[in-house]
Amino acid sequence: MLLTVVDYGVGNLRSIAKSIEKANFDNKLNYSVKISSDINDIKNSDKIVLPGQGSFKACKKGINNIKGLLDELNESVLTKKKPIYGICAGMQLFATKGYEEEETPGLNWIPGEVVKLDLGTKNLKIPHMGWNELKIKNKSKVFKNVNDNNHAYFIHSYEFIPNDKKNVSITTNYGKDVIAAVSWENIFGSQFHPEKSQNTGIKILTNFLNL
């Protein structure tokens, strides 16, 4: 079984891969974990992780800059229905469009928009950074066994707001309810970083591997 962490020039890929390898080893699963920008690796993968760090615009540009990557991601996820997990800006890319720096089209896998966090108060700093509690909204295979009040690690200034609230799996409170995780069919993602979220993160990555 092959899991590929997509390398398109953004994100702390080694840290993500190490967390997946730990979940794989601890649960005696049979995955080979590869960090790669090779289209053939993605084509041959059983599961895909799409990391993301920096602006929505920069992340989408990184995907567009690798010849054939966008087409292969669409083929793998939409046609072949391979499970994919997006992390932080990688999850935001699932949206129809984002507004960071300028309006930029996303992958449009889960209709919605990525907008700047509007907290309605100056008492809370942006970016939203550090540990925060999770609140379960809708059941999801990847976020099962994650409970209300489990903590995860966030760092972001923008949030993905899906058009359909059924796609919202988890929220967190930071002056208001902020979208923390989404799910739709074979597509899963979190605004928080599972690789930095200790036991909660490992639990989620284990669920993803066990799909």
Give catalytic status of residue 156 as yes or no. no
Instruction: From the candidates 59, 72, 159, 193, give the one annotated as an active-site residue.
Output: 193
CA-CA distance, 84 to 71, in Å (whole number)? 15
Residues in CB range of 154: below 8 A, 6 or more apart:
128, 129, 130, 131, 132, 172, 174, 180, 191, 192, 193
- Written as one letter, the residue type at 134 is L
Residue 54 exposed, middle or buried by CB count within 10 Å (0-12, 13-18, 19+): middle
CA-CA distance, 182 to 204, in Å (whole number)? 13
Give catalytic status of residue 59 as yes or no. no
Instruction: From the candidates 72, 100, 113, 195, give the one annotated as an active-site residue.
Output: 195
Give catalytic status of residue 193 as yes or no. yes
CA-CA distance, 106 to 121, in Å (whole number)? 29
**How far, rounded to the nearest angstrom, does the alpha carbon of residue 116 sit from its chain's CA centroid?**
17
Instruction: From the candidates 88, 100, 113, 156, give the one annotated as an active-site residue.
Output: 88
Instruction: Determine contact, residues 34/1, Cβ cutoff 8 Å.
Output: no
Catalytic residues: 88, 193, 195
